[in-house]
Amino acid sequence: MIKLRNVSKIYPNGARALIGVNLDIAKGEFVFIVGPSGAGKSTLIKLLYREEIATRGQVFINNINLVRLKNRQVPALRRNMGVIFQDFKLLPNKTVFENVAFALQVIAKDKKEIKEKTLSVLDLVGLSKKANAFPAQLSGGEQQRVCIARALVNRPELLIADEPTGNLDIDTAWGIVEILDRINKYGTTVVMATHALHIVEQMNKRVVRVEGGRIVEDRAEEEVRIGI
Ligand SMILES: Nc1ncnc2c1ncn2[C@@H]1O[C@H](COP(=O)(O)OP(=O)(O)OP(=O)(O)O)[C@@H](O)[C@H]1O
Ligand SMILES: [Mg+2]
């Protein structure tokens, strides 16, 4: 599903964020991207949703070459992926329901379908009872669950998360990761950049370690439990 071939990203100021990266992620995988601050994790994530474009090499999602993708084709690409971030980026003047439904309204679905899909995804993240609350009335963990619901409401094949638990305490962070795990078990591919090594250590998932813009380690699921 995701294929990077000899990818380098050099920012306009000369920062070499990624150097010669090769990576394959199959449909249905759950992959953690780890590594120190400044390693290139967010840059890698940004290449996947075409927020940034590789300076060299090729980035494919479902055989679509993102390096060659035209700007007007980007919305269609993103319709098939959900993206979540550390900071919640919810619309403060809209309710939980409206924040999630908004993602569907953009692509003009009928009202009944919007309502059904929104309520179903709020149920999935355990927020049915908060549908009419505003973001400011929610805890950090609840706000992040709204973001997950918003990312999932279009039923994307791929969910990309950059440090989704970064602002949350350990228990709340686990709640988020458990939701991502459940979503993955339903078939969505999940790629998550994180500093939360305590979580990575306890989840039996593939771990890709980035350092200085290069992939320095790529461990398959079964090996993880042996120890980090
Ligand atoms: N927009 C930008 N312009 C210039 N340099 C950038 C830009 N974004 C990132 N960089 C540089 O690219 C390198 C990789 O940054 P990136 O944000 O990908 O790291 P990261 O692994 O996500 O770090 P963190 O764990 O702190 O989030 C860093 O040296 C950073 O300073
Ligand atoms: Mg980052």
Query: Could you identify the atom of ligand 1 that is nearest to the CA of residue 193?
Result: 22
Contact 11, 3 (CB under 8 A): no
Q: pLDDT at position 103, please? A: 84
Q: pLDDT at position 167, please? A: 86
Q: Which of 16, 18, 19, 43 to mutate to test the pocket of ligand 1 (most atoms within 8 A of CB)?
A: 43
The CB of 38 under 6 Å from ligand 1? The reply is yes
Q: pLDDT at position 221, please? A: 84
Q: pLDDT at position 33, please? A: 98
- CA–CA distance, 107 with 127 (Å, rounded to integer): 23
- 21 C-alpha to ligand 2 centroid (Å): 17
Q: How many residues does the chain have?
A: 228
Q: Which of 11, 162, 210 to mutate to test the pocket of ligand 1 (most atoms within 8 A of CB)?
A: 11
- CA–CA distance, 228 with 217 (Å, rounded to integer): 11
Q: pLDDT at position 226, please? A: 54
Exposure on the CB side of residue 168, measured as CA atoms within 13 A: 26
Report the chain (228 residues): mean pLDDT per 10 consecutive residues: 98 97 97 97 97 97 94 91 89 96 80 93 94 96 93 92 91 92 94 95 95 96 59
Q: pLDDT at position 116, please? A: 93
The CB of 17 under 6 Å from ligand 1? The reply is yes
183-216 per-residue burial string, b: 16 or more CB within 10 A, e: under 16: bbeeebbbbbbbbbeebbeebebbbbbbeebbbe
Q: pLDDT at position 129, please? A: 96
Q: pLDDT at position 44, please? A: 98
Q: pTM for this structure? A: 0.92
Residue recorded with tokens 């179903």: 120
Q: Domains in the chain, please, with CATH?
A: 2-226 (3.40.50.300)
Return the bridge partners of 192, or none.
32, 161
